[in-house]
Amino acid sequence: MLFGGINVGRVKAVQPWASDPTKIEILLDVKKNTPLNEKSVAKLGMVSVMSEAALSITTGSNDAKRLGPGSSIPSQESPSLDEIAGKMATVADNANGLITQTRGELEGITSDTRSLLANLNTVTGKSNQQKLQAILDNVNGMLATERPKIDRLTDRVNTLAEHADATVQNVNGTVTDVREPLRKDLTELQSTLQQAKALLADMQVVVRANDYKIDDTVENLRTATDNLDQLTDSLKQRPWSLIRVKQPKERTIPQQK
């Protein structure tokens, strides 16, 4: 019995499992302090092709809980030799079909390759080489003829670009010249608005400080108006009061004897 490839014990007995007879129970005699844990998995296998079957147990995880005496180790069923042989036969059949298909495709690729080589031979033949040389000669002649025109056109484009740069600089200078007076006017306007705001604030302070005086003045005006109204009524009823200080005595009516 191997734990992570190290011999840590032996198999004591192999028997049907009492809880489920369809499964086989393997009893193990494990060396003390072997770190079997809940993540360990047991499976049957072979160390090499020529060796006998052996029970291998994976090391699991260091964080998993350790297994004590009498505990069960999770197992993984290994494929039998018959299953392996069946799978190998299936692989062999598929390989035969794949080889046949590949052979047909290779024949098609070979045919296409031969056609491509034939076309390349035709393209690179002497006749086509002469045509390609004639085309290259025409291109060289055209470049030699048109190169001075291209140079003149390039010089004109460069001159136009220089004029455009100068125009942009002039426009930038004009904008700067116009911007400065506007900025100054806006600064002065802002200062004037701040002074006006301060003046209004002072006026509000003065008005609030003299509210009681204004109320007294209005009250005095109202009292004076009432007094004038009373004086007017008095003059209408007793106009002699302006001349006489005292009111004359009323006349008595003479009595008949």
3 state SS of 46: strand
Note whether 11 and 28 are within 8 A (CB).
Answer: yes
Q: What are the residue ranges spanned by the domains of the chain?
A: 2-61, 79-124, 133-210
Largest CA distance in the chain: 185
141, amino acid identity: G
Tally Cβ neighbours within 10 Å of residue 36: 21
94-105: average pLDDT = 78
Whole-number Å distance between alpha carbons of 27 and 10: 9
To the question of pTM greater than 0.85 for the whole model, the response is no
Whole-number Å distance between alpha carbons of 33 and 50: 31
Whole-number Å distance between alpha carbons of 207 and 213: 10
Task: Give the DSSP letter of residue 12.
Answer: E
51, amino acid identity: S
Whole-number Å distance between alpha carbons of 30 and 6: 12
What pLDDT, in 10s, does the model give residues 211-255?
Answer: 666 777 777 777 878 777 777 777 667 665 655 555 556 666 666
What pLDDT, in 10s, does the model give residues 138-189?
Answer: 878 877 787 787 778 888 878 877 877 777 677 677 767 767 777 787 888 8
Hey, CA dihedral for 243, 245, 247, 249, is it positive or negative? negative
Whole-number Å distance between alpha carbons of 88 and 198: 102
Q: Which residue has the tokens 């090499």?
A: 48
Tally Cβ neighbours within 10 Å of residue 4: 13
Note whether 27 and 13 are within 8 A (CB).
Answer: yes
Question: What pLDDT does residue 12 have?
Answer: 87
237 or 190, greater pLDDT = 190
What pLDDT, in 10s, does the model give residues 32-76?
Answer: 889 999 999 988 876 665 566 788 889 999 999 998 888 888 888
Q: How far is C-alpha 109 from the chain's CA centre?
A: 50
